[in-house]
Amino acid sequence: MAPQLAYIGLGNMGKGMTKNLAQKAALSSPILLYNRTQSKAAAHAESIGGPSKAKAVSSIADAVSASDIIFICVGDDAAVENIVDTALSSVPDIKGKLLVDMSTIHPDTTRKLNTQIRARGASFVSCPVFGVPAMAEAGLLICVLAGHKNDVTKILPYTIGVMARANIDLTYDDDVNATQDIGKASTFKLIGNSFILSFVEQLGEGLTLAEKAGVGIDPLKQWMELMFPGPLPKYVERMQTGDYYKREYPLFPVDLARKDLRHVTDIAKQSGMQMKSLEVVDEYLRDVKEHSGERGDIAGMYGAIRKASGLKFENDE
């Protein structure tokens, strides 16, 4: 009999991942869904197959107490800690359960959660993911896995072919000579996100310069598609079409991006180095937040760069 699954957090990423878990994974019973807004969980459960595939529950305790494996994917460290604290305080017997955090958080938070959860006889896996909401919907994420191999093995049936197209393995076993650091996955994810944010900032500068210098954006877009096919031309398209300011709900919200920058900057400081390029990225993200508020997306750095260069934030001329 397959383990009972629960999933906590139904944001842009969680909705896609739970759809694939409900429809592709070999489950013996409906996946349990929890979201702070219960009506959202109920509507999503219905949209991915109804009672035979997914069931909304009204509390974290309901999700955890009835499940063997509990996935968590929320916006920041405080939210993850609150969920775990609630689970540990409201479920008397958590022994034998496996909690899997898929959020992007500081590695120190990951290590702290691991200690707390294991002290109660449960297990913990860190599994942050790379990919935009459309990739979550399509089951094409990249999972970064850290934790004991025995625990990670339990979630492998739900990664490649279900939620993901690939895994990056940072697991460990009982070898006393090996580094047993569950925080590695969080560190890896934050480094990866710093690449993405730097790429987007550089794209914004390049497109703005191409426009101001008379080259034009279309030739640069063609070059990007030829040289770097994949996600980077998609960002160019979002910038060129004005999606960076027209979108009602951000794909990668500015506040979460700046949280990631704070985390990776702290990791760099702990490691004895400075990531100067990220200071520029954070400055532009701050400008996007001031201009767009909660709708601010990382692609909006293009607008901030345009404004700093004497153009309008919006490219609607």
Rounded mean pLDDT, 2-19:
96
pLDDT at 268: 98
Q: Is the pLDDT of residue 155 over 80?
A: yes
Rounded mean pLDDT, 161-165:
98
Q: What positions carry a catalytic annotation?
A: 189
pLDDT at 274: 95
Residue-wise pLDDT tens digits, 82-130:
999 999 999 999 999 999 999 999 999 999 999 999 999 999 999 999 9
**Of the candidates 3, 9, 124, the residue with the CA atom closest to the CA atom of residue 67:** 3
For residues 137 and 113, give the distance between their C-alpha atoms in angstroms, rounded to a whole number. 28
The answer to whether 244 and 299 are in contact (CB under 8 A) is: yes
What is the pTM (predicted TM-score) of this model? 0.95
pLDDT at 110: 98
- Domains of the chain from N-terminus onward: 5-176 (3.40.50.720), 185-308 (1.10.1040.10)
Contacts of 126 (CB under 8 A, 6+ apart): 100, 101, 110, 114, 144, 145, 146, 147, 182, 183, 184, 185, 186
Rounded mean pLDDT, 219-246:
94
pLDDT at 178: 65
Helices 184-212/231-241 angle, 10° precision: 50
Q: Is the pLDDT of residue 317 over 80?
A: no
Rounded mean pLDDT, 274-281:
96
Residue-wise pLDDT tens digits, 64-79:
999 999 999 999 999 9
